[in-house]
């Protein structure tokens, strides 16, 4: 026969289902946003690379190729840091902004520091940087092409022939962006950076 102790009600076990709200770590919406933005993913890759690999990845891309002003600003800082043969870690990039007077006031300084850390934390594998570079340059080429086509159409409808000819000749600038995009899209165009990344170490933030 079961004893009285065996028949006594047992205390409830661990509750099933989701943990209490206090135990749920809130999502970092800034990181989520960075994961969906090719420009910010590209910057995050740069922040993880040693100077030699970052220099190779930066070849053929300019801040003007980025559509977002804040991303273009950070790319300018990264280019400066790499040009001085230093790894573009978040700390060095922020320090460069401060020493050159580009960190702005207290609010902008805080924003820049937070953004650099967010980019670093949300970055994909650095080897994918070339993929994001190609996406950025493709978007830059499409923007340049749309702008050129609009100006050319407007000039064709109402401008003098010499003005139209001048605008038509500007297609070379669009072609130049396309050439840089195609170079970035070629998988064999980055062998030196791949070799450097495989033998180099990831810089500390």
Judge contact between 14 and 38, C-beta under 8 A: no
Per-residue DSSP letters for 92-160? Answer: HHHHHHHHTT-S-SHHHHHHHHHHHHHHHHH---GGGHHHHHHHHHHHHHHHHHHHHHHHHHHHHHHS-
Q: Is pLDDT at 43 greater than 50 in this prediction?
A: yes
Residue with tokens 């026969």: 1
Residue 14 predicted with pLDDT over 80: no
Please compute the mean of the pLDDT values over residues 7-35 and round it to a whole number: 49
Tell me the mean pLDDT in the region 53-60. Answer: 96
pTM for this predicted structure: 0.75
CATH code for 30-191? 1.10.860.10
Residue spans of the domains in the chain: they are: 30-191
What's the rounded Cα separation, in Å, for the pair 75 and 9?
A: 66
77-86 pLDDT, tens digit per residue, is 999 999 999 9
């Amino acid at each position: 026969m079961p004893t009285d102790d065996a028949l006594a009600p047992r205390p409830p076990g661990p509750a099933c289902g989701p943990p209490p709200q206090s135990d749920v770590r809130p999502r970092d919406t800034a990181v989520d946003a960075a994961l969906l933005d090719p420009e910010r993913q590209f910057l995050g890759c740069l922040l993880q690379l040693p100077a030699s690999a970052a220099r190779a990845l930066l070849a053929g891309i300019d801040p003007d190729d980025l559509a977002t002003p804040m991303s273009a600003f950070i790319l300018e800082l990264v280019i400066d840091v790499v040009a001085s043969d230093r790894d573009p870690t978040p700390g060095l990039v922020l320090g460069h902004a401060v020493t050159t007077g580009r960190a702005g006031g207290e609010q902008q300084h805080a924003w820049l520091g937070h953004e650099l850390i967010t980019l670093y934390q949300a970055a994909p594998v650095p080897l994918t940087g070339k993929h994001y570079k190609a996406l950025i340059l493709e978007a830059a080429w499409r923007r340049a092409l749309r702008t050129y086509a609009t100006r050319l159409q407007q000039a064709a409808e109402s401008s003098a022939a010499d003005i139209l000819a001048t605008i038509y000749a500007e297609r070379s600038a669009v072609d130049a962006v396309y050439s840089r995009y195609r170079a970035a899209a070629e998988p064999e165009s980055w062998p030196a950076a791949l070799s450097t990344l495989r033998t180099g170490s990831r810089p500390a933030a």
